[in-house]
Amino acid sequence: MFLYTFPALAARVARPFVGALLCAMSLTSFAQAPSDFPRRPLRMVVPYPPGGSTDIVGRIVAAKLGENLGQQVIVDNRPGAGGNLGTDAVAKAAPDGYTLLMSSVTTLAIGMSLYSKLPYDLNKDLEPVALVGSVPFVLLVNPGVPAKSARELIALAKEKPGQINFGSAGTGTSAHFAGEMFKSLAAIDIVHVPYKGNAPAIADLIGGQIQMMFDFLPSAVPFIKSGKVRALAITPTRRSTAVPEIPTLAESGVPAYDVLSCFGVFVPAKTPSQIVTRLHFEIARISALPDVKERYAREGVEPSHETQQQFRTYLQAEIAKWARLVKDTGVRAD
């Protein structure tokens, strides 16, 4: 059985924000940041379509970052190839601090093992700036599916092997591998259907073209509350305060299942360290704002307060962890 958890992250997000803030302020390079940065609007690339959780979190951060910097931060959705098109655009952008990437760290880490050839090297072409937060996945089904719980869905899948389709934001995305992990741990035969983003996948879930999917909780909540989809379980071992009525998969017959997905901000490699530090400092401030904390809580987002070095360490751990699952499942994107 597989067990892929986020224990280090869960422990670290509980650290007081003040400690991280003081750490950021103590860096001497912050005082040396160019006094005229930024001189023009910035661009934040989200490598997925509008409406998904990465986009939701990205727009929250972009709006507040723009206020902090005194310049607009424009969100630029560039979906395609499991997030690789938008990611590559940032990796090849000028390293001047004006182009940012808001992405799922999990998806980026998975891609390192999933693709034999990528147009960019995550370790060489992108610089981690700030880990923004983590969110659980939620297991959703079309209301027409007779299963009313994860246990019943597993039983149904065992009765009808290969007949239940699960959608995702694309091959190699964290939502895809959330489904692959479920498939493996529950010992069921379900079929993956990749889309170009979570939004079109959930549209087909609502329409009945697919029967189930794992979606990030923030983007799923409106559809759950409207009754357009049925939520069976969330993926961490602890229930979410945003939807406390939804049980965990661990409570629902899959005790080893414990997964979160994290969002982070990156810039092109070789961006001046003073600018990277300034961006880290300003993004770190955002999580402490009362209205942002309230919005995050409502959306089910757990803010992170990592230093830049902790983010780098976490990223390398994610790359190694998901490499094991890619190898165990045999899934390839090319």
Closest listed residue to residue 103, CA positions, set 181, 120, 94: 120
Position of tokens 């224990």?
7
Q: How far apart are CA 322 and CA 111, in angstroms?
A: 9
On the question of pLDDT at 10 being above 60, the answer is no
Alpha-carbon distance of 298 to 217, in angstroms, equals 10
Q: Do domains 7-134+263-329 and 136-252 have the same CATH topology?
A: yes
Q: How confident is the model at residue 16 (pLDDT cuts 50, 70, 90)?
A: very low
| Dist CA 265 CA 267 (whole Å) | 7
DSSP 58-101: HHHHHHHHHHHHTS-EEEEE---GGGHHHHHHHHTS-SSSSEEE
pLDDT score for 63: 97
What fold, for 7-134+263-329? D-Maltodextrin-Binding Protein; domain 2 (3.40.190)
Q: Which residues contact 75 (CB under 8 A, 6 or more apart)?
A: 44, 46, 55, 58, 59, 62
Q: What angle do CA 198, 305, 296 make, to 5 degrees?
A: 45
171: DSSP letter? T
pLDDT tens-digit series, residues 256-283: 998 888 999 999 999 999 999 999 999 9
What pLDDT does residue 172 have?
A: 80
- Residue-level pLDDT at 33: 52
| Alpha-helical segments (H) within 70-216 | 84-91, 105-114, 122-125, 150-159, 174-186, 198-207
Over residues 167-178, the pLDDT tens digits come to 998 888 888 999
How far CA 333 is from CA of 16, 34, 52, 171, in Å, comes to 40, 42, 22, 6
Six-digit token string for 289: 């704002």
Taking only the tens place, the pLDDT of each residue in 104-162 is: 998 899 999 999 889 999 999 999 999 999 889 999 999 999 999 999 999 999 999 99
The amino acid sitting at 19 is G
Q: Which residue has the higher pLDDT, 173 or 55?
A: 55
Whole-number pLDDT of residue 20: 47
Per-domain boundaries in the chain: 7-134+263-329, 136-252
Task: Calculate the alpha carbon distances from 239 to 109, 231, 275 in Å.
Answer: 25, 13, 38
Q: In which residue are the tokens 């997905």 written?
A: 261
Higher pLDDT, 53 or 95: 95
Neighbours of 142 (CB within 10 A): 18
Per DSSP bridges, beta strands 42-46 and 73-77 are parallel
Residue 299 has pLDDT above 50, yes or no: yes
For the ranges 12-26, 37-51, 153-167, 180-194, the lowest mean pLDDT is seen at 12-26
The CATH label, of 3.90.1150.10, 3.30.960.10, 3.40.50.150, 3.40.190.10, for the domain at 136-252 is: 3.40.190.10
Q: How confident is the model at residue 71 (pLDDT cuts 50, 70, 90)?
A: very high
295 burial (CB, 10 Å; 0-12 / 13-18 / 19+) is: middle
Q: Contact 136/260 with Cβ under 8 angstroms?
A: yes
Neighbours of 16 (CB within 10 A): 9
The secondary element (H helix, E strand) that includes residue 265 is: strand 260-268
Model pTM?
0.77
Least confident among 20-24, 30-34, 175-179, 320-324: 20-24
The two tokens of residue 178 are: 């959330």
191 DSSP β-pair partners: 165
The strand pairing partners of 127, in sequence order, are 267
